[in-house]
């Protein structure tokens, strides 16, 4: 009998705590301001509308690739190293050049993410696009030209089946564990 009572108390406490945790207010923190949300929303889409001012070339990108330590992970030319191969595969399979810019901007360099200036990101993007034979060495990459770069995999890109998903909507695919 004691075990049943103890079990009921534990179940009741768990249910009460779960209900409290689902409540609308915890009394902690504050809602972010519109400016804070905008500062965090840095994703760059295929059209490049979100790209900042700046520009870059492959020649300048090669210098930055070496100076910023990219070669430590990706080798001196992006073809080897302990990190992912960037030349001769890798990014050439991406559908949009703006995605490369966005990824470098957000995730590089390792342990220093988000510290590159826009011009550095444009230069590195141009370097990688040139090394993969996608643009010419003298091409200037900027907010106007980058969305127009024709990636080799662009025509095989299949957009998601829905453009917006909200909680409560059925998922268009099954997530396997």
Average confidence (pLDDT) over 93-107: 93
Q: Which residue has the higher pLDDT, 92 or 177?
A: 92
Counting every residue written for the chain, the total comes to 177
Residue 56 has pLDDT above 70, yes or no: yes
Domains and CATH numbers, the chain: 42-156 (1.10.760.10)
Residue 59 has pLDDT above 70, yes or no: yes
In this prediction the pTM is 0.71
Q: Could you report the per-residue pLDDT of 105-134, keeping only the tens digit for each?
A: 999 998 889 899 999 999 999 999 999 999
Residue 58 has pLDDT above 90, yes or no: yes
Q: Could you report the per-residue pLDDT of 134-153, keeping only the tens digit for each?
A: 999 999 999 999 999 999 88
Give the 3-state secondary structure of 70-123: HHHHHCCCCCCCCCCCCCCCHHHHCCCHHHHHHHHHHHCCCCCCCCCCHHHHHH
Which pLDDT band, with edges at 50, 70 and 90, does 43 fall under?
confident
Residue 92: its pLDDT value, please? Answer: 76
Residue 160 has pLDDT above 60, yes or no: yes
Q: Report CA-CA distances (Å) from 15 to 4, 19, 20.
A: 16, 6, 9
């Amino acid at each position: 009998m004691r075990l049943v009572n103890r079990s009921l108390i534990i179940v009741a406490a768990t249910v009460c705590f779960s209900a409290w945790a689902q409540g609308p207010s915890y009394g902690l923190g504050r809602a972010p301001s519109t400016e804070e949300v905008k500062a965090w929303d840095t994703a760059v889409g295929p059209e490049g509308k979100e790209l900042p001012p700046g520009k870059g070339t492959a020649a300048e990108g090669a210098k930055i690739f070496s100076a910023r330590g990219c070669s430590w992970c990706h080798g001196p030319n992006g073809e080897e190293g302990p990190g992912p191969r960037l030349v001769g595969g890798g990014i050439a399979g991406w559908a949009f050049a703006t995605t490369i810019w966005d990824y470098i901007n957000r995730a590089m360099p390792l342990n220093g993410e988000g510290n590159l200036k826009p011009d550095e990101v444009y230069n590195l993007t141009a370097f990688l696009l040139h090394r993969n034979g996608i643009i010419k060495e003298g091409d200037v990459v900027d907010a106007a030209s980058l969305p127009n770069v024709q990636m080799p995999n662009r025509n095989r890109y299949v957009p998601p089946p829905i453009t917006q998903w909200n909680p409560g909507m059925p998922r268009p695919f099954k997530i396997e564990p």
